[in-house]
Amino acid sequence: MENNLASISKSERTINWFQSHPTVQLQCIHCGENLNLKGKSLICQSNHQFDMNKQGYFFLANKAMSNRYDQALFTSRRQIISQSPLYDALHDKLEIILRPYYSDKSLSILDAGSGEGSHLYRFTQTLGTQHSLIGIDLAKAGIHLASDYNGYILSLVADLTRLPFANKQFDVILSILSPANYEEFNRVLKEEGHLVKILPNAAYLKEIRDAMVKLGYLDNNQYENDSVLEVFLQHYPETKIERVQDTVALNTIQRQALVEMTPLTWRLTDQERQSLLEEMGTTISLDLTILIAN
């Protein structure tokens, strides 16, 4: 982190972010009125109040997700996204896709399903900090970890079914290997905005599936995204489709983190995970479809 941000608290960084990125209007999830920052609270005209916690983020949902998405998973996810080359080809392609839109203005970008904020933080390094980058996730553990990036991005506990934003706020919405709510996306996306959704293809992380089949942990190694793609194209017929493929070498620590974060392996015992690590080899495949809708 830059020294000027590392020297102040997470809550102060969030306040600074609001002061320097006023372009996105937050909305009360209870009454739909605008939320405004007063001290360390977001308050609407009906006096619904959301207080910033000690980590400098806001809880703008009726309830958080309570399941396997814990701090250990998001720590492993950060290791893979930020400290390994696995997603470099995706980030490079997304930067090329976004470049024409930010050449002459600052963008408002929402990462819907941002987890611990690693993808968004990567964009602050490639696109710059002048853009309003906001991440939302219903997993409190992910947003808690994302608070490390306060000041660069804004992270909120929020629900896809009730996004805490006024209408027509975002130039770009990213949905990276996450669920989607197209009705809400359409509501908060600007008329000239772009929805960018990333889907896994058959070869994505195929080494893990192949090894699990060989070890008897999985019945078959087949994967298809046809149904998700079909629904997306029904909503956005004029979609541009691109594909990103790469094969990268991961070290032992990175492979351990990948196994930890991958839902396929969550039901495995520690001994089974170790056997999987020994079987799957050192190279991992990236194979993703990028859907770009206007």
Q: Which residues are annotated as a binding site?
A: 44, 48, 87, 116-117, 204
Three-state SS at 151: coil
Q: Which residues are annotated as a binding site for Zn(2+)?
A: 44, 48
C-alpha 105/C-alpha 130 separation (Å) is 9
C-alpha 232/C-alpha 292 separation (Å) is 10
How crowded is the C-beta side of 243, counted as CA atoms within 13 Å? 7
DSSP for 72-140, written as a single string: HHHHHHHHHHHHSSTTHHHHHHHHHHHHHHHSSS--EEEEET-TTSHHHHHHHHHT-TTSEEEEEES-H
Query: The tokens of 162 are what?
Result: 């009730």
C-alpha 154/C-alpha 133 separation (Å) is 6
Q: Which residues are annotated as a binding site for S-adenosyl-L-methionine?
A: 87, 116-117, 204
